[in-house]
Each structure stands twice: as C-alpha cells, then as structure tokens.
Structure 1
Amino acid sequence: MREQRTILLTGANGQVGFELMRSLQGLGKVTALDRADLDLGDLDQVRRAVRELKPNLIVNAAAYTAVDFAETDVSVAMLLNADVPAVLAEEAARLGIPLIHYSTDYVFDGTKDVAYVEDDATNPQNVYGQSKFAGEQAIAAVGCAHLIFRTSWVYGTRGKNFLLTMLRLGASREEINVVVDQLGAPTWSNTIATLTGNVLSQAIMHENDAWAEWWGGNSGVYHLTASGVTSWHGFAEAIFALTEGGRKPVVHPIPASSYPTQAKRPANSRLSNDKLENTFGVRAPDWRDALRLCMASR
C-alpha cells in the first residue's frame, strides 16, 4: 500500500488556502497552517515549521495581497511575497521535495494586445507585482522542484475581494462607477484550488523515482485563470445579474483615469492557459460559469 504523503499548506485562512484545504483532501495528509499557527513574519519560525513537519510537499497559499497598501508597506509585502517563498524553496530543496506557489498577472505591465504567455517579458508596475515576481525569481534561483501558478482577479465568498465589495456597495447605493478599460479573467478561488488538486493528483500516482521524475519534468511557471475575458465593469454587471432580490444598482462604465488608485494596474491582465491545458489536460471553466457557482454557494 502506498504511504500517504504529508502536505504542508500555508495561508489556510486565505481565499485560496481555505479552498485548498478541501481540494487537497484525499491527496495526502494535509497540515494546514494559518496566522495563529505560523508567524510568516518570522523566517526562522517558517524554517522550523518545515523542518519539524518534514512534509513531502509544500503548498504556499500565503501572500500579501493588499495591492494599494503595498505601495507604502513595501518591506512587509516583500517579506511575505518574496522572502517567505525563498525560505520555503530553500527548505524544499534541503528536503528534496516540491513546492507549489501562487503568483499574479501583475508581473506584467499590461501593454500587450493579446493574452500573456508564460515566457513573455515581465515588467511589474506596482510594488505588489514586484514583490510577487521577486518570489518567483527566488524560487527559480533555489532550483527546487516547483509549480508556480499565476492567476488573476481572484474572488470568493470570504476575505476582501471585488465580488464582496460590489455586493456591499450594491446593498446601499443606487449607482456605482466601475472601470471599463482594464481587461482580465475573474477567477474564483475554488477554481484555483480545484485545478491545483487536479494537477497534483497526476503527480500523486507516481512513487519514489517516478515522483521525482514527474516534478523534474513539469516544474515551472503556469498561468491558471478562469477562461474568457471581461472588464471590471462587465464583472460587476454579471455579479448584479446573478444577485437575487434586493437592490440592483446601475453600473456606470468609467475609464481607469477617472478612478485613481495608489497602485498602477495593468490595462491587460489576460493570461493564456494553453500551457496548463497542454501539459496537464485540465481546462478552466468560463468565468461566468464559475461566478454562477460561486454566487449559488453563498
């Protein structure tokens, strides 16, 4: 009988981490750590946690995601998004185990006219994007077996995200202005976790040398978002179209220039999932279908 592998999951209370606690069930013995269990600001504690558990796989869903606050909270953003992944990668390499990590569309500057592929030149325009790209670079520099999944416009039924903000504003306003000239794929946190589980299930079937060979052959960066494309305005309209009862505000399209933010956002956040699909045979659902399921689960 195959020995059950131990999976260390960080960021268990986050949008993606919470969903991963469910999608990873059955793939191994999951040890899920949140802020109460692990102070990510203490890199020595992070090292100790890995060394004490001695997992067979690390899944890092912890991150600093407050994009605008990162502009003035640079050191903390870099600590959580670059230094912590670097330490996890170092410990993974020491144990000879793989690491799964999540990154962002914000590593690109958004000037491309079509969807970005993994090999396109990066050029993050804000501190959040810079910190996430630094995390990618740190993992690659260490050289441990890894999967880095870049995603975009993450939302869900917990935490702080665009979906929950729209529902809150829609409950009290007759009209809302939403940016129309930034494009991307709203991606449900459950979609990210489910596809991660689907990919990982392919690795779990392998034992010993075959396990290491699978990771060695598939390590790298992959884009993982919902299928399709919309604007923030289109996303907002879709949210209210699925909202049953109550107030449904009028959603006015506005240019990004009319809604200044501390952090600069890319105009084009579209990511191609072709590499993910061609390598692992998994296909992300259309963003509207995923949103419909998410709204029904509230």
Structure 2
Amino acid sequence: MRIALFGRTGQVATEVQRRLPEGATLEVLGREEADFGQPGQVAEAARKLRADAVINAVAYTAVDRAETETELAEAVNGGSVTALAGVCADMGLPLVHISTDYVFTGDGTQAWRPGDPTGPLGAYGRSKLAGEEGIRTSGARHAILRTSWVFSAHGANFVKTMLRLGAEREELRIVADQVGGPTPAADIADACLTLARGLAEGREGGTFHFSGQPDASWADFAREIFAQAGLPTRVIDIPTSDYPTPARRPLNSRMDCSTLEVAFGIARPDWRAGLREVLAELGAAR
C-alpha cells in the first residue's frame, strides 16, 4: 500500500513515519514540497501523487495566535485542506484528515458525537471547521478524525511543558474546569493508518471522534504527569477564568468515540499508558 503523508515534523506526522506497517510505503511531503499557507501549491503537489491513500497531518495549531493570524490559520486549516480534498476527489484518492474538539462550543457535560451541531469559539476552531466542510463538499472519499489534547515526545505539548515547569517550581496552578481526553500522538497515527487502509479497501468513511480515556481535566492530567515522572510538584486547581487567554477554550471536550470503534474496530486508548511510553522515551519516567 502506498500512502502519501502531508506533514513531516509535527507530532502525528512523526509518529506515522515511525509506525508505518510492514509492506506499506510512504511518500512524505513537508513544507518544502507543499506549503499549506499556499493552497495552490498544495493542489499542485497533490496532483503529482502516486498513492493509494492520503493522510493530512498538517495543521496550524497556535490557538491564541490564530486570533491575530487569522488569514494564515484559514489558509492552512481551511483553504489548503479544501484544495487537497478537491484533488483527491478528482484522482479518486481517499483522504484521512485530522481535526479537533475545538469545532464545538464546549457547552454541557455530555460527550460530543460526530453529528452534533458545531460552534467554534475562536479563529482556530473556525478554520478547522472550514477544512472539514471543504472535505465533505469535495466529493472525496474521506475520514475526518477529530481528536484532542495531543501529546508525544516530540514538539511542543502539555506533557513537555509540565515536565519543564514541574522541575522548576514546587507548585503550579492548573485549570480544572476544562475536561477532555488526552490523546497520544502514536495512537492517532495508528488510527490514521488503519483508516487509510480501510478507505483504500473500499470501507465507508465519514467523520469520527478519537480521544484517550479516561476523560480528565488539565489539572488531573498534570497530576498524573508528575506522579509518573516522580516529581513532587503540587497542583492547585483553578477555574478557566483565573487563566485568561486571547482565545476562548471549550470547557467540555469530552468526545463520544463509539462510531469509530464500531466502524473500524479502533478503541479509545488509555492515555496513562501512552504517557508512560512518552516519559520513557524522554527519559523522564520515575
């Protein structure tokens, strides 16, 4: 099976390259080959593909900066994704695309289902939703995988930030009223590869949710990081209102992942096990 991967150095893209199954080949397109700030360049690169399926792991993920870099966020997450999907439709290539919990309002406490009404709170979420809609209207066979709170041993993420701050401070104030599922990038990569193969074999796609379990607050997540890393850092729960940011965050990022398990046999991973693997890779495990 030939897979084209858009994205080279991000958390999920890195893991896709590391976890490619035996017998599969991978063509990796980084920014040099396809700059997602330029939708036309992305479409041109896509037309040259010789693949059985496409995975898009490129995204503009600077949630706060998106409020002032709106055009760039829209180009990367919206325009270029739409352009890629159009080419995939023309060429008959199935597309696996990673999206986010930020397409929802974050109201309530019930887990969001794939068909629930969307309502992004900020520019980042709106740009990701635009990409989703571009895919759905393109006619391309696709699987949109919404996920949340991604972490790995690579790049910038909450785990690495907590390890750094935990080594510097005795006490940290962490938001406790935002709840979601931390998700290891390695598990997202595995899910993307499974979806790519399934679509290439003619399985029906759609929009799916995938996040780690059990659901937790950021404060809960931090406590588990410190416990597994053997750091004595105390975590003080605070409300979101005590930690203002340029972009609003959804309070409820719980996601119902049952349709993905039914359709493709992909179960929610235990993020605590994934955390142990990440800490071991970083040399930070207790």
TM (normalized to structure 1)?
0.90
Match of 2:182 in 1: 186
What is the CA–CA distance in structure 2 between the aligned matches of 1:290 and 1:28, rounded to whole Å?
A: 24
Return the offset for 1:262: 0.7
User: Could you tell me whether the CA contact under 8 Å between 2:95 and 2:196 is conserved in 1?
Assistant: no
Q: Say whether residues 1:278 and 2:262 are aligned partners.
A: yes
* Alignment partner of 1:231 out of 213, 217, 222: 217
Q: Say whether residues 1:137 and 2:138 are aligned partners.
A: no
User: Could you tell me whether the CA contact under 8 Å between 2:54 and 2:196 is conserved in 1?
Assistant: no
* Alignment partner of 1:200 out of 196, 202, 211: 196
User: Could you tell me whether the CA contact under 8 Å between 1:176 and 1:250 is conserved in 2?
Assistant: yes
User: Could you tell me whether the CA contact under 8 Å between 2:114 and 2:208 is conserved in 1?
Assistant: yes
SS in 2 for 1:242: helix
Which amino acid in 2 is paired with 1:242?
A: Q
Q: Say whether residues 1:269 and 2:253 are aligned partners.
A: yes
What is the CA–CA distance in structure 1 between the aligned matches of 2:207 and 2:265, rounded to whole Å?
A: 16
- Structure 2: runs of 5+ lacking an equivalent: none
What is the CA–CA distance in structure 1 between the aligned matches of 2:79 and 2:10, rounded to whole Å?
A: 19
Match of 2:31 in 1: 35
Match of 2:145 in 1: 149
Of all paired residues, the percent bearing the same amino acid is 42
Structural RMSD (CA): 1.5
What is the CA–CA distance in structure 2 between the aligned matches of 1:22 and 1:80, rounded to whole Å?
A: 24
Change in 2 beyond 3 A, CA 1:248/1:233: same
SS in 1 for 2:63: coil
SS in 2 for 1:171: helix
- Structure 1: runs of 5+ lacking an equivalent: 205-210
Return the offset for 1:121: 0.7
Return the offset for 1:199: 3.5
Match of 2:52 in 1: 56
Quick check: 84-93 or 30-39, which moved more? 30-39
What is the CA–CA distance in structure 2 between the aligned matches of 1:146 and 1:201, rounded to whole Å?
A: 12
1:52-91 → structure 2 map (5 Å cutoff): 52-91=48-87
User: Could you tell me whether the CA contact under 8 Å between 2:96 and 2:144 is conserved in 1?
Assistant: yes
Match of 1:207 in 2: none
Q: Say whether residues 1:260 and 2:244 are aligned partners.
A: yes
Which amino acid in 2 is paired with 1:69?
A: R
Which amino acid in 1 is paired with 2:273?
A: D
User: Could you tell me whether the CA contact under 8 Å between 1:6 and 1:29 is conserved in 2?
Assistant: yes
Return the offset for 1:203: 4.7
1:82-121 → structure 2 map (5 Å cutoff): 82-121=78-117
Change in 2 beyond 3 A, CA 1:201/1:94: closer
* Alignment partner of 1:162 out of 153, 158, 164: 158
Match of 2:12 in 1: 16
What is the CA–CA distance in structure 1 between the aligned matches of 2:121 and 2:38, rounded to whole Å?
A: 28
Return the offset for 1:175: 1.2
Match of 2:232 in 1: 248
Return the offset for 1:156: 1.1
